[in-house]
Structure 1
């Protein structure tokens, strides 16, 4: 029973299977007819011997045989000679050769060049400088400049004229004691208070020292500007002048 059922199933499966074509043998692309049509198409002919595309469809003009002269341009087209003649006539009408475009003129050899095309000085360009100057000319210019040199000899500083005031700078350098050291005797009452009132009349300690030396100082103090007797009026300090000389 099982054998009968197996045979039946195999028969049904064989009947439902799709038919495999004959790999193109006898039909399709490998047929003799197709090959003949393909060869004819490659040679520009149909199977019957007629042209594949009629000539009237493309142009009614017959093509020249192989090896003949090249085809001419369309009717009315100017030849190269005609174009040259037309160009010559156009130049004559525009004023002749005088108005023709001339090529840009090149710089003449040896012409002086003050600046480059960018406007920068050409003094660093050897060719530009050598066209304007020479070694001999530079040597002569150096000699002329040397001949114009003038050496100024140093001279002594002139003495001041028209001013008889004491020189406080010289006074500071001629002394060595510090401020506040009493060297000269002073007598009287309330010397500090009198000195403050007297010093208020001067714009600076330098002016007070000049007035002090002009009126008998440092030995005498007629205006009461040096109450401690150190020889320096209104707290004038000679130390800055001394340091200036030492430096």
Structure 2
């Protein structure tokens, strides 16, 4: 009987003594088993199965694990736009949104449209047609009119020429003018096409220095 009482006394003293922490459990974790459960739950990302509430140490371990291994922590949450703001956002504010019915309806009204139309009517300007100015007299030969009065092609002789102008002399004479149009005007002003006093039309086709009447003829046919 004495032995039984002594055993009960020893057990009572052991229950009242402070509990010594387990040095193998680690800092911040209740136990290695709890840490393993929390780590497995973090890796799976949560499968919807109800589990016992994790301890504070297990929650800290799961958060640290998700921070260090973001690729296994699951997809990032998608931030949805705030409701109640239907105004469309344009990536380029310089573009017009006149074709967007919602944007125009939110910004304009029947009264504002009427005022805008009235302003546009006041700014509308009618430009009356004016007659084409006539060519001033004494401005020189009209090469366009001359081109339309001819029918032969370039290089097709029409007028006789007395004497022979060498190729070098012909090119030298044409080099005096900045363009074939200027050479043709000078040729006509000097008595052409019947006469070639300047040596600009040695073949007698009536066209000086490679001048071609084809563009003027084509413009009339259009």
User: TM-score, with normalisation over the residues of structure 1?
Assistant: 0.45
Structure ranking higher on relative contact order (CA contacts 8 Å, 6+ apart): 2
TM-score if structure 2 supplies the norm length? 0.49
